[in-house]
Structures are given as C-alpha cells and as structure tokens.
Structure 1
Amino acid sequence: MSIPNEKLQQILQEISQKKAFAEQQLVIVRQQKVANSREGRMLQLTASEMESLPKETKVYEGVGKMFVCTPIPDVQKRLSDEGEKLKGEISNLNKKEDYLEKTYENSKNSLEQVLGGRSG
C-alpha cells in the first residue's frame, strides 16, 4: 500500500510542525523552570535571613517606589505564601515539560517511521 506523494508530504509537514512546536515550547518551559528555581532560592535566603533577625527589628518592604515598615511575621507569611505558589508553578511546569518531551519524541518517531517506510 503506497501513500500518494502529496499526502505523504502533508503528513511529514504536520509532524515536522508538531515536533518544532514541542521543541520551542520545551525551551520556554525549561527557561521558566530555571527562573522559578532562582526565585525560590531567593525566597529561601530571604526567609532564613528573617529568621536570624531579632523580633524587634524593623523590616521594610518595597511597595512601588516606596518602602513600608512591615512586621516580621507578615513578611514571613508573605514569603511562605509565595514559596507555596512557586512550588505549584514548578509542579505544573514539570508536567508540561513531561508532556512536551513525549510529544517531541512521538513526533520524532513518527517522522522516522514515515521516512523509513518510504525508503523501503
């Protein structure tokens, strides 16, 4: 059973596009993971610095172009909340990365199958 050249070309183009898109998205997801892990490390460092401060220390947070005196427990809660949110984002990025890797591999295998079947 032979596939007409036009149909084969269309199939190859679709698979190639899917593979290229998955590859591009993988790069983006991996960059986002790096940025999120960097942000997570910054949150951890800030939280550990907050732990070492005496309770009566005045702490200031940036709000727009100004700084506002904020109680240490409020800052610690905000850091904790941001850390939890970040963990959720990283988890979602891991799932997306797995999906894109599978899509990329499936597309690559499909291309190899179509091209391998064509030469035979």
Structure 2
Amino acid sequence: MSIPNEALQKLVQEIETQAIAAQQQINIVRSQISAKQREIRMLQLTSNEVSTLPPDTNVYEGVGKMFVYSPITEVDKRLSSETTELKSDVENLGKKLQYLETTHKNSREHIDQIFKSGGRA
C-alpha cells in the first residue's frame, strides 16, 4: 500500500515544520539556560563578597536610580533565595530542552523513515 504523492508531500512538510520549530525552541531554551547560569554565577560571587564583609558594614542595594540601606543578613537571604529560584528555573528549562531534543530527533527519524520506505505505509 502506498501513500499518494500529495499526501506524502504534505506529511513530510508537516513533520519538517515540526522539526524546524523544535530546533528554534531548542536554541531559545539553550540561551535562556545560559543566561540564568550567568545570573547564578553573579549572585554567588556577590554572596561570597558580602559574606567576607564585617557584620557592622553598611550595605546598600540599588533601587532604580537610588541606593537603599539593607542589613547584610537580608541581602544574603535575598541572594540565596534568588539563586535557589534560578537553579529551579534552570532545572525546568533542562527538562524542556530534553523534551524538545527528543521531539526534533523523532521528527528527523520519521522523515528519514518516510524517505527510506519510498512513500509506502
């Protein structure tokens, strides 16, 4: 049993569109992971610097165009909570990346299978 040329062409086109969309999403997710990992590294470096300061040091955080005094303990808490949140985001993006890579691989395999079978179902 063979599939008509038009239907085969439409099927291949749909699978190719899905593969292209998955590849674009993979690139987006990879850049998001990279950006979040950079943010995590910056937060860790900031936390390390803050932890080396004496406890009575005045610490100021930027808020818009001004700086506001914040106790070191609050700054450290905020840095650690942001780091935890970003790590969770990176983990979720990793799962999404794995799903997209599988989708892309499957799409490519389906296209190869169609071409190898010569359009027979």
In which range does the TM-score fall when normalised by the shorter chain? over 0.9
Name the CA distance, whole Å, in 2 between partners of 1:14 and 1:89: 31
In 2, Cα distance between the equivalents of 1:47 and 1:9? 57
Q: CA deviation at 1:118?
A: 1.2
2:111 is aligned to 111
**What is the deviation of 1:42?**
0.2
Aligned to 1:96: 96
User: Secondary structure at 1:95's aligned position in 2?
Assistant: helix
Shift of 1:92: 0.6
Letter paired with 2:85: K
Q: TM-score, with normalisation over the residues of structure 2?
A: 0.96
Mapping 1:29-108, distance limit 5 Å: 29-108=29-108
User: Over the residues paired in the alignment, what is the CA RMSD in angstroms?
Assistant: 1.1
Which residue number corresponds to residue 25 of structure 1? 25
Q: CA deviation at 1:119?
A: 7.0
Q: How many residue pairs align between the two structures? A: 120
Unaligned runs of 5+ in 2: none
Q: Secondary structure at the match of 1:56?
A: coil
Deviating runs (4+, > 2 A) in structure 1? Answer: none
Matching residue of 2:12 = 12
Q: Give the match's secondary structure for 1:69.
A: strand
Structure 1: unaligned runs, 5 residues or longer: none
